[in-house]
Amino acid sequence: MIKIRFLTILFTLNIVFIFIKIYQHNLLIRLTYEKQRIEKHKNDLKKQKNDLRIKYLTIIDQEKIYNLAKDKLGMQSLKLSQITTCTNQTKP
């Protein structure tokens, strides 16, 4: 009687430990997938940051701005004699 009860308890504990081990393994797998997803998102954000940095540095490049204004927009350098000043001074 005691032997049968002991075997039943032992069997039940083994089943419980097996399910705990399966749960632990599933949790580990789920966390690994989440870690991979977060790392992928991090890499995507780094790529986007680098692309934006390149775009920013291209935009503020003075020589490129000068060439764009001169070639595409048809602007030209001004001479000092072409500049007129407008002031709002009243004569006494």
CA atoms of 77 and 82, how far apart (whole Å)? 10
Do the domain assignments include residue 90?
no
Do the domain assignments include residue 55?
yes
Do the domain assignments include residue 80?
no
Look at residue 15 in the predicted model and tell me its pLDDT. Answer: 97
The number of domains in the chain is 1
- Provide the residue-wise pLDDT of the chain in tens; the chain has 92 residues: 788 899 999 999 999 999 999 999 999 999 999 999 999 999 999 999 999 999 898 888 888 888 888 888 888 887 888 888 887 766 65
- How much is the pTM? 0.56
What residue numbers bound the domain in which 44 lies? Answer: 2-70
- 76 sits in the region (left: phi over 0; alpha: psi -120 to 50; else beta) called beta
Do the domain assignments include residue 85?
no
